[in-house]
Amino acid sequence: MMKFPKEKVLIMQEINDCLACDDFFGIFKLKDKILESSDQLERKIFDDLLFATFVIGNFDDVVLIASELKRKGIETYPTLYYTLLALIANEDLFQAVSIIKNSKILNNPEIKSLYQEDGANYSNLLAYAERYPNFSLLLLMVNYVNGIIREINGTKDINRDYLLFRFFDLINLIYELGYPLKIIQELSSVMKVIFNLSL
């Protein structure tokens, strides 16, 4: 009879308890325990850790945790998504581009075709939005980052106001294209965290 590793069960229980009462800092405090047991844990736990770390505004920690996970061979749509969101919040789009270029997932040729300049089109991603929301959210952020980098093209500094304007623009655009409400709500929610808004 196979036994469930005790540490895995305890971590999962602690995370579920924290999620149940929106104790995101409680999840963040489990960071070291989660990283030490990473070979035994389900990927959703890493996604939950990065989500919680992002929500509490510890953007540098999101990037560090994601980097440590990648070093251990762990990369998922949500880990990449929260990393890009954290880098947008830190106004570090050049590191975001580096993450995109060095991602195993994002360098898959089929996925790459959805964000390279000739394929970067929000309407192309609409087909995936309902069935694959995590994939769609990641690709929306990849296209957002790449679009801004192309726009500035070394001519002006990246500033918070411009990033916020472009984020609003993205949400309006996907609304007009008919993206599912859950995608629009998610982006509206993360926009509040990134730009410290109370809407």
Segment 3-14 shows an average pLDDT of 80
**Sequence-ordered list of residues with C-beta below 8 angstroms from that of 140, at least 6 positions apart, any chain:** 122, 125, 170, 174, 183, 187
What is the separation of C-alpha 100 from the centre of its chain, rounded to a whole number of angstroms?
Answer: 12
**pLDDT of the residue at 114:** 84
Whether 100 maps to a domain, the answer reads no
What are the tens digits of pLDDT across the range 152-178? 876 667 889 999 999 999 999 999 999
- Single out the residue in 24, 51, 74 at which a domain terminates: 74
Coil, strand, or helix at residue 118?
coil
Residue 25 is part of which domain span? 1-74
119 and 192 housed in the same domain: yes
Q: Is the pTM of this model over 0.85?
A: yes
- Which whole-number Å values give the CA distances from 34 to 29, 48, 94, 184, in the listed order? 10, 11, 29, 30
**pLDDT of the residue at 1:** 39
Give the total number of structural domains in the chain: 2
Whether 83 maps to a domain, the answer reads no
- Single out the residue in 21, 56, 74 at which a domain terminates: 74
134 and 68 housed in the same domain: no
Owner of token pair 């579920």: 16
114 and 188 housed in the same domain: yes
